C-alpha cells in the first residue's frame, strides 16, 4: 500500500469519525441558527463532501460495489428525476413567487445530500469492527444530544436560558440522588 493510499485511508477514517460524532450535534436547532442555514446538519455536509472526494469516489472508481439495499433509493432518485423533468412540460403557476426551477434545484440538492449520506454510511464501515466503532461513537454523540434535549425540556418547563435549564436539571438530579433524608 502506497503512502498516498495510506494517507487517503487515514484521512477518510478521521473524517468519517468526525462526521459520525458531529452529525447529531450539527442537527440541533441551536447549531442550525448559529450557521444561519436552513439545511439540517450543514456543518456535517462539509465533512461529507470531503469524505466523498477522498474516499467514496475513489472507492467507486476502483470498482467498489454498492450494496443491494441501495437499489430502492436509487430507483426513487430516478423516479424523482424523471418526474421533475416531466413537470416542466405542464403549466403550474408560481406559488409565492417561487419558480418550479428553484424548487427543483433545492429539492435535488437536498436529495443529493441525503443520498450521499446514505450511500457513504452503507459502504464505509467495511468490517464488523469498523461498524461497531461507528455505532459506539454515534451513541456517545447521541448521548450529548439527549442531554441537551433534557436541558431544553427543563428550560421549557422552568424558563430562563438553556444553560440555566441545564444547571437546574443537574441540581434536580443531584437532589434526587442525594442520600439526605428529611
What's the average model confidence in pLDDT over 74-87?
Answer: 90
Predicted confidence band of residue 169 (pLDDT cuts 50, 70, 90): low
Are 11 and 54 in contact, with CB atoms under 8 Å apart?
yes
Angle subtended at Cα 97 by Cα 93 and Cα 99, rounded to the nearest 5 degrees: 60
Are 24 and 145 in contact, with CB atoms under 8 Å apart?
yes
Q: Is residue 78's pLDDT more than 80?
A: yes
Predicted confidence band of residue 101 (pLDDT cuts 50, 70, 90): confident
How many other C-beta atoms lie within 10 A of the C-beta of residue 115? 16
Q: Is residue 180's pLDDT more than 60?
A: no
Which pTM was predicted?
Answer: 0.69
User: Residue 39 has what DSSP assignment?
Assistant: S
Half-sphere exposure of 25 (CA within 13 A, CB side): 14
Residue 114: predicted pLDDT: 87
What's the average model confidence in pLDDT over 97-105?
Answer: 77
What whole-number percentage of the chain has pLDDT above 70? 72
Torsion, CA 161, CA 148, CA 40, CA 19, rounded to 10: 140
Helical (H) or strand (E) element with 170? helix 162-177
What's the average model confidence in pLDDT over 142-159?
Answer: 72
Q: What integer best gives the mean pLDDT of the chain?
A: 78
- Which is higher by pLDDT, 77 or 42? 77
Q: What proportions of the chain, in percent to the nearest 5, are helix, strand and coil?
A: 75, 0, 20
Predicted confidence band of residue 182 (pLDDT cuts 50, 70, 90): very low
Pick left, alpha or beta for residue 180 (phi over 0 → left; psi -120 to 50 → alpha; otherwise beta): beta
Alpha carbons 82 and 151: distance in angstroms, whole number: 45
User: Residue 54 has what DSSP assignment?
Assistant: I
Amino acid at each position: 500500500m502506497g503512502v498516498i493510499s495510506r494517507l487517503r485511508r487515514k484521512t477518510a477514517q478521521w473524517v468519517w469519525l468526525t462526521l459520525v460524532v458531529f452529525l447529531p450535534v450539527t442537527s440541533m436547532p441551536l447549531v442550525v441558527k448559529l450557521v444561519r442555514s436552513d439545511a439540517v446538519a450543514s456543518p456535517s455536509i462539509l465533512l461529507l463532501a470531503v469524505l466523498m472526494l477522498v474516499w467514496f469516489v475513489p472507492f467507486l472508481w476502483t470498482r467498489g460495489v454498492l450494496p443491494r439495499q441501495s437499489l430502492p433509493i436509487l430507483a426513487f432518485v430516478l423516479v424523482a428525476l424523471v418526474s421533475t423533468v416531466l413537470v416542466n412540460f405542464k403549466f403550474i403557476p408560481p406559488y409565492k413567487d417561487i419558480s418550479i426551477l428553484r424548487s427543483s434545484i433545492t429539492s435535488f440538492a437536498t436529495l443529493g445530500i441525503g443520498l450521499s449520506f446514505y450511500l457513504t454510511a452503507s459502504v464505509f464501515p467495511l468490517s464488523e469492527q469498523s461498524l461497531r466503532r461507528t455505532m459506539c461513537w454515534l451513541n456517545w454523540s447521541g448521548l450529548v444530544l439527549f442531554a441537551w434535549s433534557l436541558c431544553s425540556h427543563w428550560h421549557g418547563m422552568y424558563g430562563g436560558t438553556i444553560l440555566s435549564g441545564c444547571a437546574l436539571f443537574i441540581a434536580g438530579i443531584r437532589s434526587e440522588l442525594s442520600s439526605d433524608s428529611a
